[in-house]
A and B are shown apart, each in its own frame.
Chain A
Amino acid sequence: NAGVTQTPKFQVLKTGQSMTLQCAQDMNHNSMYWYRQDPGMGLRLIYYSASEGTTDKGEVPNGYNVSRLNKREFSLRLESAAPSQTSVYFCASSAGQGANGYTFGSGTRLTVV
């Protein structure tokens, strides 16, 4: 039972490069989320998808785009990476929103140089 799978686990990008972080869940969850974790800042929501076909901005959406490809997959794209996007990125899913516990992936550590 894989839960939430994120790829890649590590990535180094040069400023201005683009990349897509992949996330897939096998729990038939409706909602999916992308958070970033920075030292001293906790977990901040980038984008979320309450259900297949919908996406919404979170607290820190600038510089990112997302795609809810199907019920299982929710990708995060950096079109032109900046050093300020150096972070650990977590994808999560839940059966609904809020009151339902989230299942998190193991994270992608991204460094932009």
Chain B
Amino acid sequence: DQQVKQNSPSLSVQEGRISILNCDYTNSMFDYFLWYKKYPAEGPTFLISISSIKDKNEDGRFTVFLNKSAKHLSLHIVPSQPGDSAVYFCAASLSGNTPLVFGKGTRLSVIA
């Protein structure tokens, strides 16, 4: 039973446009959400996070939105750049006391 779901295995976006990556979760007790970015042959790296007490967090070109009632979060990248091409993992945490649960990832390709 997958608790964190990324239903789009891949996404292609033109350079300069907005990339929107989506993530759904089933456990309403999750209270912290993170996005990780992974390049081939490297480990995932932390990108941005959001607490359940917020509905938006922004860091430069990256914004994460949280809709708790829908159990849905999204990562917006504006403007998208070729260097953003990577696999993006959504992850969730239960009260900071349990390991992160990851989704299956979405492969983003930004086309020049």
Q: Does B104 contact A (CB under 8 A)?
A: yes
Which single residue of chain B is at the shortest CB-CB distance from A96?
Answer: B96
A30 to B102, CA, bound (A): 20
B42 and A106 contact, CB distance less than 8 A: yes
A105 and B43 contact, CB distance less than 8 A: yes
Q: Does A101 contact B (CB under 8 A)?
A: yes
Interface size range of chain B in the complex: 20 to 34
Q: How many A-B residue pairs have CB under 8 A?
A: 66
Residues of B within 8 A of A45 (CB): 99-101
Which single residue of chain A is at the shortest CB-CB distance from B42?
Answer: A106
Q: Does A86 contact B (CB under 8 A)?
A: no
Q: Does B65 contact A (CB under 8 A)?
A: no
Per DSSP, chain B at the interface is loop
A43 to B92, CA, bound (A): 12
B99 and A101 contact, CB distance less than 8 A: no
Q: Does A90 contact B (CB under 8 A)?
A: yes
- Interface hits, A55-113 → B, CB 8 Å: 58, 90, 92, 96-107
**In the complex with contacts A42-B104, A42-B105, A102-B46, A97-B41 CB distance below 8 A:** no
A107 and B43 contact, CB distance less than 8 A: yes
B93 and A42 contact, CB distance less than 8 A: no
B43 and A97 contact, CB distance less than 8 A: no
Interface size range of chain A in the complex: 20 to 34
B9 → chain A closest CB, angstroms: 7
Residues of B within 8 A of A43 (CB): 44, 89, 102, 105
Which single residue of chain A is at the shortest CB-CB distance from B6?
Answer: A42
Q: Does B45 contact A (CB under 8 A)?
A: yes
Q: C-beta contact mask, A25-48 vs B, less than 8 Å → 1, else 0?
A: 000000001010000111111001
B residues near A, CB below 8 A? 6, 9, 31-32, 34, 36, 41-46, 49, 51, 89, 93-105
Q: Which 7 pairs between the two chains have the least Cβ-Cβ distance?
A: A104-B43, A98-B93, A42-B104, A99-B96, A101-B46, A98-B96, A43-B102
